[in-house]
Copies of this chain bind each other. A is one copy, B any other.
């Protein structure tokens, strides 16, 4: 019995150097995919984040919500138009984006973290001018109210985090007229990490990480290796924007970026408290 306890204590002790390294550091986590849907993964994510905050790390959660938006559009029978394969965000769609991201998904995550023992506060990108965007130009196609981030004001996040709360950010930004736009959650997370001088950016995905041509997980990539593989086409599909997002964040001064397999229980904690983690590390 006592031996079991001692073994547990040893595991706590193993975490010590990682805790020391991340104390008082900011970690921005893009939360999405299965980790946001599966009940067990959801609960494990919540306690991971609360544990981080409790031991002195400053976690910032940025979430997406594509599937929930699609489902509500359908319930409201709002038709969707596509341009070059991408959904156009017209005013009716944007109204739903705000309802779902700000009113449903953001609230759920706040509740999730609160039930996990933490104190979360939800923000959207137009709170206090947090995310300033301009309309994204997509190869000449007009995608409507889809924004690209042009500036981040970190004050609202700092006000909340410095008071001991965990910020949960919905990726909606306002343009110079104050008009709300939808923003890609990975991009928002990267821009926020950069503006906060974060130690780490973590993108939760539904894949193992970056795979090589044999389909084996690549545990670590330098900036130049990643750029080379993007250029050569080794990195493909949905992984391309994620790797690009990491490279942009690294370039903007973020210490380390990770593409993490969010389907693994406690993926966030493993990424912080082990050397290997459960995905691909991209570094300078």
Contact = CB atoms under 8 A, between A and B. Distances in A.
A189 interface: no
Contacts of A111: 126, 174, 178, 180
A103 B114 contact: no
Contact of A265 (B6, B115, B117, B278): B6
Interface of A is mostly: helix
A243 interface: no
30 contacts: A2-B270, A5-B266, A5-B274, A6-B265, A6-B266, A8-B274, A9-B48, A10-B265, A12-B51, A13-B47, A13-B48, A13-B51, A13-B269, A19-B51, A55-B55, A72-B99, A76-B76, A98-B103, A99-B99, A99-B103, A99-B104, A100-B103, A102-B106, A110-B126, A110-B127, A111-B126, A114-B174, A115-B178, A156-B163, A156-B165
Contacts of A117: 16-17, 20
Interface string A76-90: 100000000000000
Interface residues of A, number: 73
Interface in A43-68: 44, 47-48, 50-51, 54-56
A107 to B, nearest CB: 5
A136 interface: no
Q: Which 9 A-B pairs have the closest CB atoms?
A: A103-B103, A159-B163, A9-B266, A99-B103, A102-B103, A99-B99, A115-B178, A121-B127, A55-B55
A129 interface: yes
A28 interface: no
How many chain copies?
6
A201 interface: no
Nearest to A179: B111
A164 B155 CA distance: 10
Contacts of A102: 102-104, 106-107, 122
A2 B273 contact: no
Contacts of A163: 155-156, 158-159
B101 A114 contact: no
A143 interface: no
A26 interface: no
Given A5-B278, A102-B104, 4 more contacts: A9-B44, A9-B273, A110-B126, A115-B178
A91 interface: no
Contact of A273 (B12, B95, B103, B120): B12
A11 interface: yes
Interface in A239-259: none
Given A126-B110, A128-B165, A174-B114, A269 B9 contact: yes
